[in-house]
Every structure is written in structure tokens, then in C-alpha cells.
């Protein structure tokens, strides 16, 4: 629709330009004719100069009006006024009756305007002027029987010409009206298609944002900021709207990024960051063949390019980056800094302004930065828009509300566990991360004891009933508790507020009593749970650290006995207790020829497969089996990323292989523990091998002695196979 309006305006400009040029051509031709008459002695030079002055003055006035407003319809009337001044001058000075024909050139140009009233008015004025001069000729006896015919031809030609022009104009107007109606209907259809297209764009943007609760509304805000920057840069309104909708889809490539990476609470690994960076090229590929709007893929593909060339995906620099992408880069960065994220709170408005100024000319285009800073001067101190502009004039608000409701339902469905209706694992991690950033409290990790046995003996329906009852108990503990189903029989919870162990112990005891009572009340047998507790200090501890502590406390509880809770102690003591307890329980289970608990087998399948093989080999003879457990321990306050921990564990595996040279003797017991199995090997030799492995590890790691940040410990136990 806007294109059609622009086409009409351009048509008016071209018509005015052509008629002014035509008028100038007529004046020039007449001037040449008069100069010829001067040359032949039929006119004086003074007459020719006066004629040119009158007509050039009118022409100059029309040119000035055209430069001021080239599409103005008033230009044609000013041109007619000048023409009639010339017409009267010619009539007053002409020595021929054919001067009436001077009207024909201007008449042929006026027909282009297809204005019937203009033709009628011009015709009436022309006939009046000609009749006035005919009357003058009668009064001065300039008319005789011989030249009456000329007067008849004069009047007849003028009436015929104006009548023909009027008919042509009327036909032209009828065709024009039909075309206008067609164009109007076409504009309405185009407008409907545009509204549907833009609503589709908004729906896609909402769907993208719904993948992460903490980016909800991000695309809309970036769209609004981008439009304001474009307006501040002096762009046309049509271009501003185009940028608005391109910005709405700038993050469409996140559809191709795994949710686990997109919603990760902590810092991304290098591999995860590479996956995240791919959303720019994915978005560009999705939009590159969509032809409804030019450059629709530019925002998605290049909005992470930096002005200094250090961005991605192509490392473009300065003016190489499309202006649209430079604008969206600024808007995207501003919204990221002023919005809460799962890994941090939003930044103070003044801090954000300082950051924008600091990055001017490095990350951001200087002109775009200056324009955005001017716009931000009109914002309040919180950095929020005081007035959010309309994105679609006359948009279907009902449809938008329906889309938003569906988006909210989709978000809720994706965050809740289907059975218990509490948060699922990923959503629980996100909400706990944000809450723990600002609040002290405690985290506890609850595991239902022997859930597999319950499902096997009492049926899964009874198991589901127990889960729902336990959820009710958890939600009644505290109105602010965050509960997440972390596994089939596990719940992770965070309670903001209390940090004293006495209060927490009372709450844990009441919770365990309630769980025991569930089974007693239904007559379904014994139901117990084990709980690991970590007291959280938001100034010193992250979500990941609290989870690791609660997990270790739970594991210690499971190894020490069930149906109770355990607080995380000092890391060094805990890990020493854990490794000793784990190895001791394992040896006791083997000596007792226990079938091993479901939890133990499930957690250490690699070890038990290997041990069963060894048991078969030594079944008919009395053999001693030596077990060596290596535990990689991390000191309190150590800040190791997942990659660093994995690299350290790889060094442990490499050290074991270099000393033992037998990969079949190594079993994975946990993510930080390995077990070596020796058959009929002396205890002294096993200890020597363990010490050699420990020494080899520290050589690889770059330390010759243990240190407080990370260490490798080993424990040895003997198991004698009885025939």
C-alpha cells in the first residue's frame, strides 16, 4: 500500500516536471520565432525582450514552486496564469488572426492532468479572451465579409479542441477511477497480507523467546529499540518499519540450538559457546530465501558482528557490516544488559550507559551509538521505555492475545513435570539459579529409597501415588520453596530463608516423618527417603556448587544408611569419608556375596560387570582380589570448570594406563573415581603401583606434591574369594 502511494506521488512529480519543461520549450520556440521576425524587420528587439521577460518571469516562478514542492497540484494553475499573460500579450501585439492557436500546445499538456474542471475553466477563459478581441476587431472595422470565415474557424477550432480535450479527459478519468478502485482493493488485500505476515513474524519471535523464560519479550524489545535508533538516524518511516520486523526475527536461529545449551545456568564451555554462535548462520539460512521483505536475513546473520571486526560469524568490520545489523547489534546488547538473565541480574542503567560509551567504535558503530544515546536521554532512570511505540497500526489485538496465551501455555508445559506438576530438571535449575543469586537458604536433594522395589512389588500406580504425596509434603514445607523433579525418584529443592542447622534439621525430620506416614496410612509397607543438605551462602556459593555439595551429602547418606538426612561437611573430610565408606561398603557387599542393591548396581555398572567376570575366572580357586580406589578431590573454594575437571580425570586415566598397561583392569566407579582390580597380587606390590600412579599423575599435572586445590587419593582393600 505504501508503495502504491509512493508511485502516485512520483507520478505527480513527473507530470509537473514534464509540464514545466514543456512550458519552457514553448517559451523558447516562441522566442526564436520572434527573433526571426526581428531579424526580418517585422519586430523590434525591445518587443522580443519584453516578451521574454514576461514569460521567463512566469517560468522562473513555476520552477521555484516545483523545487519547493514537486508534487503540488497548484503548479499547473500558476503555469496557466503565466500562459494567459503571454496569450494576452500576443493578442495585443500580434498582426495575425492565427494567434488563437497559441493555446493548443498548453492544452495538449493540460490533458495529462485528466482534470475536467481545469479543461472547462481554461476553455471558458480562452473563449472569453478570443471573443473580446473579435469584438475589438469589429469596433475598429478590422472585420469584413472576406475575413468572417477566419473568425468562424477560430471559434470553431477552439470549441472543438476544448470539447475533444474534455472528452479525452473524461474517458481518461473513468479509466483512472477504475484503476484507482482496483488499486485500492489491491492495497486492502496487500495490507491484510502484511498484517498476517507481521503477526506471523511476531508469533515466531514469541516462540523463540518462549524457549527461555528469562528472554521472554526480548525480540519485541530489540525490535522497538531498533526502530527508535533508525528514527533517530533520520531514516524514512517505511525503512523504520522494515527494520522493526527484521529485528523481530534476529534470534530465529536459536531454534537450532539445543535447550540444554540455551538454558544452561552456568558458564558455557567452549564447545557449547560454538554451538550457541551457530544461531547466527542458522537464522541467516532460514530467512535467506524468504522474499516478502528485502534483507530479512541480514539481522539474523550479522547482529553479532563487531565494528572492530572481532565479532562472528564472518568477522566483518566497520562499513562492511550492513547498517541494519549494526542497529540490531546495539539494541540486542542494550536489552541483554538491562534484562535479568539466568546467570546474572540486570545491570544498573548508568552502568549500561557507561558500557555503551566505552564500546563506541569497538563493538558498536559510533553513529548508531550516538543516536541510541540521544534516544536514551528520553528514558527514565530505570532504563525502561516511557512509551512503547505501536508495532502494527490496526493490528489484530485479539489474535496477539491468543498467540500470547498459547505461548504461555507452551512455556508452562515445557517447564513442568507431567506427573507431579512441579518444575522439571532444566526449569528447576533456572529458577533456583536466579533465586539463589539473591537469597540465602538451603538446598536439599531427596531420593526415595528402594523405589524400584516399590514399583515392582506394589505397581507403578502406587509408586506414582507416593510421588504425588511426597510433592504435597514438599510444597507444604515453605510457601517459597522451589521443587524440581530431578530424576525418576529424586527431587531437588531450595528453600530461601533459614540457614541455621537446627531449624533445617527440624524441617528435615518432619519431612521424613511425613514420608514414613504416607506408607503407614495406606498400608503399603515401608516408605523412606534419604536427603543430602547444603546450606547456601549467596555471596560465596553458586547453584552448581550447592548442587555438588547436596549430591555428595546424599551419596554419603545412601552409603551410610537410609531413611535420614546428612549435612554437607568440609570438603576434605567429606571426600575422605565418602571414599572410605564407598570402598568399605563395596568390599562388604562382595564378601557377603550380596546381589548388590539396585542403586549400587545402577550407579556402578562398569565395575560390577568387570567383577562378575573376575569372579567367574577365580571361582574354582582360592584367590585374593585387591581393589584400589583412586579419588580425584577438589579443594574447598576451587573454581574448576567442567572441562577442567574432565581434563584432570583424563590425566588420572592416562597415569593409570602408563603404569598398569592393561585397560581391562580399570573400571569407572564415578565421574571422579576409578577402581583397579588385581588378582593374586601382593599388597605391597599393589601399594607400590598405586604410589607410582599417584606420582605419575602429579608429574603430568605439573605438581610433584599434593596441594590444597586438587589432589589424587587412593585406598586399598582386599577381597578373598571363597570356593
**DSSP labels for 410-473?**
HHHHHHB-TTT-SB-HHHHHHHHHHHHHH--EEEEEEEETTHHHHHHHH-HHHHHHHHHHHHHH
Confidence at residue 680, expressed as pLDDT on a 0 to 100 scale:
75
Confidence at residue 618, expressed as pLDDT on a 0 to 100 scale:
52
Give per-residue pLDDT as tens, 222-235.
Answer: 998 999 999 999 99
Please choose, from the candidates 587, 606, 598, the residue with its C-alpha nearest in 3D space to the C-alpha of residue 670.
Answer: 606
pTM of the model: 0.46
State how far the Cα of 169 lies from the Cα of 164, in Å rounded to an integer.
8
Please say whether the beta carbons of 563 and 449 come within 8 A: yes
- Strand ranges of the sheet holding 666-670, from the earlier edge strand across to the other edge: 666-670, 673-679, 623-634, 710-721
The H-assigned helical ranges of 592-702 are 598-603, 605-617, 642-660, 683-701
Neighbours of 228 (CB within 10 A): 24
State how far the Cα of 309 lies from the Cα of 306, in Å rounded to an integer.
5
Give per-residue pLDDT as tens, 581-603.
Answer: 556 656 655 555 444 444 444 44
- Strands 565-567 and 623-634 come out as unpaired
What domains lie within the chain, and their CATH numbers? 2-180 (no CATH), 213-384 (1.10.3210.10), 417-568 (3.30.70.270), 582-723 (3.30.70.270)
Confidence at residue 654, expressed as pLDDT on a 0 to 100 scale:
87
Please choose, from the candidates 686, 693, 695, the residue with its C-alpha nearest in 3D space to the C-alpha of residue 627.
Answer: 686
State how far the Cα of 386 lies from the Cα of 333, in Å rounded to an integer.
19
The count of C-alpha atoms lying within 13 angstroms of the C-alpha of 212, restricted to the half-sphere facing its C-beta, is: 23
Give the three-class secondary structure for 631.
strand
Please say whether the beta carbons of 580 and 715 come within 8 A: yes
Strand pairing partners for 630?
Answer: 674, 714
Largest CA distance in the chain: 155
Please say whether the beta carbons of 321 and 414 come within 8 A: no
- Which regions in the chain score pLDDT beneath 50? 1-2, 381-400, 402-403, 406, 570-574, 593-603, 704-708, 721-723
Please say whether the beta carbons of 632 and 652 come within 8 A: yes
The residue with cell 607410582 is 692
Distances (CA, A) of 704 to 575, 696, 707: 22, 9, 9
Q: Return the H-helix or E-strand segment holding 627.
A: strand 623-634
Give the three-class secondary structure for 526.
coil
Confidence at residue 387, expressed as pLDDT on a 0 to 100 scale:
41
649, 653, 659, 665: CA torsion to nearest 10: 140
Neighbours of 460 (CB within 10 A): 10
Amino acid at each position: 500500500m505504501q508503495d502504491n502511494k509512493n508511485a502516485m506521488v512520483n507520478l505527480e512529480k513527473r507530470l509537473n516536471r514534464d509540464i514545466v519543461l514543456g512550458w519552457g520549450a514553448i517559451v523558447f520556440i516562441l522566442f526564436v520565432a520572434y527573433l526571426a521576425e526581428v531579424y526580418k524587420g517585422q519586430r523590434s528587439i525591445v518587443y522580443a525582450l519584453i516578451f521574454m521577460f514576461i514569460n521567463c518571469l512566469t517560468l522562473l516562478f513555476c520552477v521555484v514552486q516545483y523545487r519547493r514542492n514537486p508534487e503540488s497540484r497548484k503548479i499547473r494553475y500558476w503555469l496557466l496564469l503565466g500562459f494567459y499573460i503571454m496569450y494576452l500579450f500576443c493578442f495585443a501585439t500580434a498582426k495575425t488572426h492565427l494567434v488563437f492557436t497559441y493555446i493548443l500546445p498548453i492544452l495538449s499538456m493540460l490533458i495529462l492532468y485528466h482534470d475536467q474542471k481545469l479543461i472547462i475553466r481554461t476553455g471558458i477563459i480562452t473563449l472569453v479572451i478570443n471573443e473580446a478581441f473579435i469584438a475589438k476587431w469589429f469596433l475598429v472595422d478590422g472585420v469584413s465579409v472576406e475575413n468572417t470565415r477566419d473568425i468562424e474557424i477560430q471559434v470553431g477550432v477552439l470549441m472543438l479542441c476544448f470539447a475533444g480535450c474534455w472528452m479525452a479527459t473524461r474517458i481518461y478519468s473513468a479509466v483512472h477511477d477504475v484503476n484507482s478502485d482496483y488499486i485500492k482493493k489491491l492495497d486492502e488485500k496487500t495490507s491484510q497480507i502484511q498484517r498476517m505476515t507481521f503477526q506471523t513474524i511476531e508469533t515466531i519471535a514469541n516462540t523463540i523467546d518462549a524457549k527461555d523464560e528469562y528472554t521472554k519479550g526480548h525480540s519485541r524489545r530489540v525490535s522497538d529499540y531498533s526502530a527508535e535508533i533508525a528514527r533517530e538516524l533520520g531514516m524514512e518511516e517505511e525503512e523504520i518499519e522494515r527494520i522493526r520486523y527484521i529485528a523481530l526475527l534476529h534470534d530465529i536461529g536459536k531454534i537450532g540450538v539445543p535447550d540444554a545449551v540455551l538454558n544452561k545456568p552456568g558458564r558455557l564451555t567452549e564447545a557449547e559457546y560454538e554451538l550457541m554462535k551457530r544461531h547466527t548462520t542458522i537464522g541467516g539460512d532460514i530467512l535467506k530465501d524468504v522474499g516478502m521483505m528485502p534483507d530479512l536475513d541480514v539481522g539474523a546473520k550479522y547482529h553479532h558482528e563487531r565494528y572492530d571486526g572481532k565479532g562472528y560469524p564472518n568477522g566483518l568490520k566497520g562499513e562492511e557490516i550492513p547498517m541494519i545489523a549494526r542497529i540490531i547489534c546495539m539494541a540486542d546488547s542494550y536489552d541483554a544488559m538491562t534484562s535479568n538473565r539466568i546467570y546474572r541480574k540486570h545491570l544498573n542503567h548508568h552502568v549500561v550507559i557507561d558500557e555503551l560509551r566505552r564500546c563506541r567504535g569497538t563493538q558498536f558503530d559510533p553513529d548508531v551509538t550516538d543516536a541510541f544515546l540521544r534516544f536514551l536521554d528520553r528514558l527514565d532512570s530505570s532504563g525502561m521505555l516511557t512509551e512503547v511505540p505501536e508495532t502494527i497500526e490496526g493490528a489484530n489485538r485479539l489474535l496477539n492475545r491468543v498467540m500470547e496465551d498459547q505461548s504461555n501455555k507452551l512455556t508452562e508445559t515445557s517447564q513442568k513435570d507431567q506427573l507431579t506438576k512441579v518444575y522439571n530438571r532444566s526449569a528447576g535449575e533456572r529458577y533456583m539459579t536466579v533465586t539463589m543469586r539473591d537469597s540465602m537458604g538451603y538446598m536439599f536433594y531427596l531420593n526415595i529409597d528402594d523405589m524400584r522395589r516399590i514399583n515392582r512389588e506394589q505397581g507403578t500406580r502406587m509408586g506414582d501415588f507416593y510421588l504425588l504425596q511426597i510433592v504435597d509434603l514438599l510444597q507444604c514445607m515453605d510457601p517459597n520453596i522451589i521443587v524440581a523433579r530431578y530424576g525418576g525418584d529424586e527431587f531437588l529443592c531450595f528453600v530461601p530463608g533459614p540457614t541455621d542447622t537446627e531449624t533445617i534439621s527440624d524441617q528435615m525430620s518432619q519431612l521424613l516423618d511425613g514420608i514414613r506416614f504416607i506408607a503407614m496410612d495406606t498400608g503399603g509397607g515401608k516408605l523412606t527417603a534419604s536427603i543430602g543438605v547444603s546450606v547456601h551462602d549467596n555471596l560465596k556459593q553458586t547453584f552448581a556448587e550447592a548442587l555438588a555439595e547436596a549430591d555428595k551429602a546424599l551419596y554419603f547418606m545412601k552409603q551410610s544408611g537410609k531413611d535420614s538426612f546428612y549435612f554437607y561437611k568440609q570438603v576434605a573430610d567429606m571426600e575422605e569419608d565418602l571414599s572410605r565408606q564407598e570402598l568399605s561398603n563395596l568390599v562388604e557387599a562382595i564378601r557377603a556375596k550380596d546381589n548388590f542393591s539396585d542403586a549400587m548396581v545402577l550407579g556402578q555398572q562398569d565395575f560390577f560387570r568387570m567383577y562378575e567376570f573376575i569372579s567367574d575366572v577365580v571361582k574354582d580357586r582360592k584367590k585374593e582380589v585387591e581393589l584400589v580406589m583412586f579419588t580425584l578431590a577438589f579443594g574447598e573454594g576451587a573454581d574448576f570448570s567442567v572441562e577442567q575437571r574432565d581434563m584432570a580425570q583424563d590425566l588420572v586415566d592416562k597415569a593409570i594406563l602408563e603404569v598398569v598397561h592393561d585397560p581391562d583392569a580399570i573400571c569407572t566407579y564415578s565421574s571422579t573415581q576409578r577402581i583397579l582390580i588385581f588378582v593374586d597380587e601382593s599388597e605391597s606390590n599393589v601399594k607400590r603401583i598405586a604410589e607410582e600412579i599417584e606420582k605419575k599423575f602429579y608429574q603430568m599435572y605439573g605438581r610433584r606434591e599434593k596441594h590444597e586445590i586438587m589432589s589424587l587419593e587412593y585406598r586399598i582393600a582386599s577381597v578373598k574369594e571363597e570356593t
